[in-house]
């Protein structure tokens, strides 16, 4: 069994722990997806030699919080030097997911 399965099995009897576990895993998955999007956009992996002197490179990240059904997650939206990268995982300036809107309606 992997770590997620063990943690999930331990948290089954406490709903707060399940939400925390799912929030943590969702945050990790979103941040990994954003990093993969930038890698695909640039065409090379981080610290790869073939990315040197290409005219565009990684340039840190923007941090923003997004409300989800499991709680607030902190997204690290990566940036590129030429400001040409636009991520598609979450629309710009959006601070909550549609699940909350559907729940309220």
Per the prediction, the chain carries an average pLDDT of 84
pLDDT above 90: residue 31: yes
Residue 105 confidence (pLDDT): 45
- What is the rounded (10 degree) CA torsion for 80, 60, 48, 83? 0
Is the pLDDT at 100 greater than 70? The verdict is no
What is the pTM assigned to this prediction?
0.80
pLDDT at residue 79, rounded to an integer = 93
């Amino acid at each position: 069994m992997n770590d997620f399965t063990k943690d999930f099995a331990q948290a089954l009897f406490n709903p707060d722990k399940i939400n925390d576990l799912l929030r943590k895993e969702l945050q990790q998955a979103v941040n990994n997806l954003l990093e993969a999007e930038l890698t695909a956009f640039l065409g090379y992996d981080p610290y790869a030699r073939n990315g040197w002197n290409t005219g565009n490179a990684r340039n840190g990240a923007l941090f923003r919080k997004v409300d989800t059904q499991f709680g607030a997650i902190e997204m690290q939206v990566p940036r590129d030097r030429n400001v040409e990268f636009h991520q598609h995982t979450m629309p710009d300036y959006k601070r909550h997911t549609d699940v909350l809107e559907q729940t309220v309606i």
